[in-house]
């Protein structure tokens, strides 16, 4: 690859120096390119890449000629508790501007310690890196805003997490890594010029129309709120549970970020939790909208001085925006649920009763929605109970009123995936990869690349876990 054609920009470093620290990636002893996302590389406008050179660049062993590695500073509420943070195992190399003039951060995750590592080693395990690659690329295929995985490089070194694991580095691409926590950091900092600089930068980068609004900071808050409503509705559509919705993982761009203890729900229940560190169920499946609103309230608090110089007036203005969260979310969620059920006309009670039925019958969230699209219901007992049949008799006329096999079927096809990255399949693939066999990862990635395509009855990737395959807990990569 011609080095002169890789040109990274560094607009983030136009912010005051307090927002970042210059860093150097730790040198990997034996970097080897394990995965390279060619479709993403082409979309980013990257030229063909030699795999040996890619391993050097994306492990941090050799610097991209235009890279200026930094670790970003930010703060955040972690499970409700405020703390100062920063990139403890991530390094921003710079920003890539695509041929379509879209700007993306290019970041190494797991390339060594930074000033924000808080006694951590700054490394990442192969298991954690592959998990983020699988999950983020699956989310993109599902049509959900997300960071992306460009490359996975093994380092040839061990990383210790209770025991020794193979080390790896992920090259993550995102619209930016600006977070609610970035604004909290600026608002909490004694230097009062940080916040207005960050507000201006965020508006210019993500929401340029807000600059023309009578109150740009308030317009920024509303724009971020709308993105987050859309994002959470997407998560709920596919049964995704983020697991660690702290404000430092809440992006200003409205993209899904940080795939640590995340998981996809099999059996439906709104209180479903997988994260091993979420002891109180704060970020349970059904709590995610409320937590998004809570995070947005923290963003509003950080923005108060930019919204209005008088605090009470600023609070009133911010509240006037946030008061719209619940009704707008509810409307988008209902629209989404109607689409999953193929309902063209309003039928709120049918939606509510369907979710109650799913919970009571302990039905698989993904497969139950796909079953409604089939010519014949599956033989599973849950589809032939008196309760299901009673609901079915109410739903069918409404479904048929929307066109049945035409418009309604198309709506359902677009909103109900046949395959998701089920926890047991992901764990099986990761276990094989740790043992040196990447074939299961490749096969899983292939299946997840077309999640809405019809699958054969009994398809390996569409099957929910058997009792002995169930995953009870997922874990943070650190």
Q: What are the residue numbers of the active site?
A: 248
Token code pair at residue 310: 């008088």
Helix, strand, coil % in the chain, rounded to nearest 5: 45, 15, 40
Chain centroid to CA 168: 20
Chain centroid to CA 67: 25
Q: Classify residue 179 by its DSSP letter.
A: B
Judge residue 299's burial from the number of C-beta atoms within 10 Å of its C-beta, 0-12 exposed, 13-18 middle, 19 or more buried.
buried
| Length of the chain, in residues | 478
Ramachandran assignment for 362, one of left (phi > 0), alpha (psi -120 to 50 degrees), beta (any other): left
Token code pair at residue 49: 């890449």
Count Cα atoms within 13 angstroms, Cβ side, for 65.
Answer: 8
Token code pair at residue 189: 């900092």
**Which H or E element spans position 304?**
helix 288-307
Q: Are 428 and 447 in contact (CB under 8 A)?
A: no
Token code pair at residue 419: 């395959």
Judge residue 334's burial from the number of C-beta atoms within 10 Å of its C-beta, 0-12 exposed, 13-18 middle, 19 or more buried.
middle
Closest CA to 263 of 272, 271, 251: 272
Which residue do the tokens 């019809």 mark?
454
d(CA 164, CA 121): 13
Q: Are strands 103-109 and 70-72 parallel, antiparallel or unpaired?
A: unpaired
d(CA 359, CA 431): 31
| DSSP per position, 95-141 | EEE-TT--EEEEEEESB---TTSTT---B-BHHHHHHHHHHHHHHHH
Closest CA to 357 of 388, 333, 379: 388
d(CA 202, CA 209): 11
């Amino acid at each position: 690859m011609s080095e002169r054609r890789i040109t990274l920009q560094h607009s983030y470093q136009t912010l005051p120096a307090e927002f970042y620290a210059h860093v150097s990636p730790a040198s990997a002893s034996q970097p080897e390119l394990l995965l390279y996302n060619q479709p993403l590389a082409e979309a980013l406008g990257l030229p063909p890449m030699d795999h040996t050179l890619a391993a050097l660049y994306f492990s941090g062993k050799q610097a991209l000629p235009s890279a200026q590695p930094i670790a970003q500073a930010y703060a955040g509420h972690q499970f409700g508790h405020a703390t100062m943070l920063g990139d403890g195992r991530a390094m921003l190399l710079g920003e890539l501007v695509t041929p379509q003039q879209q700007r993306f951060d290019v970041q190494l995750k797991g390339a060594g310690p930074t000033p924000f590592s808080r006694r951590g080693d700054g490394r990442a395990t192969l298991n954690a890196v592959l998990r983020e690659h699988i999950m983020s690329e699956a989310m993109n295929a599902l049509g959900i805003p997300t960071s992306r995985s460009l490359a996975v490089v093994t380092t040839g070194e061990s990383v210790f997490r209770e025991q020794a694991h193979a080390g790896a580095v992920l090259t993550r691409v995102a619209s930016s890594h600006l977070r609610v926590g970035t604004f909290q950091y600026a608002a909490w900092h004694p230097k009062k010029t940080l916040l207005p600089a960050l507000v201006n930068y965020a508006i210019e980068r993500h929401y340029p129309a807000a600059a023309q609004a009578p109150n740009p900071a308030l317009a920024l808050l509303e724009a971020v709120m709308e993105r987050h409503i859309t994002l959470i509705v997407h998560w709920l559509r596919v049964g995704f549970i983020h697991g660690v919705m702290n404000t430092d993982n809440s992006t200003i761009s409205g993209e899904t970020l940080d795939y640590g203890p995340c998981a996809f729900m099999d059996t439906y229940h709104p209180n479903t939790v997988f994260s091993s560190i979420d002891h109180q169920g704060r970020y349970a499946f059904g709590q995610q909208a409320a937590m998004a609103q809570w995070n947005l309230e923290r963003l509003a608090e950080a923005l108060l001085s930019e919204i209005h110089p008088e605090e009470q007036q600023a609070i009133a203005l911010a509240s006037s925006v946030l008061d719209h969260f619940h009704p707008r979310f509810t409307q988008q969620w209902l629209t989404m649920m109607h689409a999953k059920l193929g309902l063209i006309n309003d039928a709120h009670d049918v939606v509510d009763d369907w979710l109650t039925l799913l919970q009571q019958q302990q039905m698989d969230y993904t497969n139950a929605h796909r079953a409604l699209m089939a010519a014949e219901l599956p033989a599973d007992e849950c589809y032939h109970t008196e309760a299901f049949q009673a609901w079915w008799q109410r739903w069918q006329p409404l479904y048929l009123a929307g066109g049945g096999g035409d418009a309604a079927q198309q709506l359902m096809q677009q909103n109900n995936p046949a395959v998701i990255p089920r926890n047991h399949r992901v764990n099986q693939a990761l276990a094989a990869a740790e043992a040196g066999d990447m074939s299961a990862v490749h096969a899983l990635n292939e299946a997840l690349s077309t999640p809405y395509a019809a699958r054969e009855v009994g398809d390996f990737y569409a099957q929910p876990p058997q009792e002995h395959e169930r995953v009870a807990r997922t874990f943070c990569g650190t």
